[in-house]
Amino acid sequence: MTIQYDGTDFHGWQVQAIGRTVQGDIENALSIIYPNEKITLLGAGRTDAGVHALGLTANVKLPSKLSSNELMQALNGNLNQDIRIDLAEVVEDDFHARFSATAREYEYRFVKLFSPVTRNYTTHLKWEIDKNLLNECAELLPGKHDFTSFCKATAEVENKNCTVFYSNWDELDDKLIFNIKANRFLQHMVRYLTGTMLEVARGRYTLADFKSLLKNEKTEAVVVRAPAHGLFLKKVYYD
């Protein structure tokens, strides 16, 4: 299934002991439809608290033969308005939303002028930004890199190599949008990359600092994590 959600009121995707989560809400809706079954939803990724999704995918094994459309309607009827199932379809038995994916795409939205209306969906740029430096940083990312410097220090994943397919900044009216697509992302990776690029663009760090971090070399610069609001998981790709 393909899911979109407003992440503002969620403690992220993954079920937790305390706090509302996207996975938890959908599993609760499934338990209403299938009251005698223990159902686990497998997501393509785990978004942080406050991060939104336009097209996160997940799969689940279900005990009965509701049609895809019937399932989608039943789920949406039991979900709050900040989650919606946009698509439900039957997949092969060996399909896994996370491990079958070939790429993920994110979008980060920034605004120059603060707006209370869009505050949960954009991050306010508080400083003057050199857009040329932003683009120079983004141009360094495509290709295969070890992103150890740009992930959560306690990340349990041993392999921190990711292949970035494209990375760029777009300007639209008063918005500045960072786009990135890669085969995989580490925990907080997009937020660390974006926050650190902005530090370069505001003059706190140099482009050489960013290059050193990307190569995991010693530097006085430290990565900076951008806020969760404004970040959207746009799409998950499959062959």
pLDDT (mean) for 1-24: 96
* Average pLDDT rounded to a whole number, residues 166-184: 96
pLDDT higher than 80, residue 18:
yes
Q: How far apart are CA 211 and CA 225, in angstroms?
A: 17
Tell which residue, 59, 51, 38, has the closest CA to residue 12. Answer: 51
- CB contact at 8 A, 76 and 84: yes
Of the pLDDT bands very low, low, confident and very high (cuts 50, 70, 90), residue 17 is confident
Cα–Cα distance, 234 to 67 (Å, whole number): 26
pTM over 0.85: yes
pLDDT (0 to 100) of residue 152: 87
Q: Give the residue numbers marked as catalytic.
A: 48
Residue 161 has pLDDT above 80, yes or no: yes
CATH number listed for the domain at residues 103-232: 3.30.70.660
State how far the Cα of 47 lies from the Cα of 108, in Å rounded to an integer.
13
Which tokens in the block code for residue 172?
């639209």
Backbone angles phi, psi at 84, to 5 degrees: -145, 135
Assign a CATH topology to domain 2-87: Alpha-Beta Plaits (3.30.70)
Cα(183)–Cα(154) distance, integer angstroms = 21
User: Which pLDDT value is given to residue 195?
Assistant: 98
**Alpha helix (H) residue ranges in the chain:** 22-33, 68-77, 131-139, 189-201, 207-214
- Quick one: average pLDDT of 67-87? 97
Percentage of the chain beyond pLDDT 90 is: 90
Topology alike, domains 2-87 and 103-232: yes
The pLDDT tens digits for 98-152 are 999 999 999 999 999 999 999 999 999 999 999 999 999 999 999 999 999 999 8
Place of tokens 């996160």: 56
Q: If pLDDT is split at 50, 70 and 90, which confidence band does 154 have?
A: confident
- Model pLDDT for residues 182-192, shown as the tens digit of each residue: 999 999 999 99
pLDDT of 65 reads 76
Domain ranges (residues) in the chain: 2-87, 103-232
Q: How many CA atoms lie within 13 A of 221 on its CB side?
A: 28
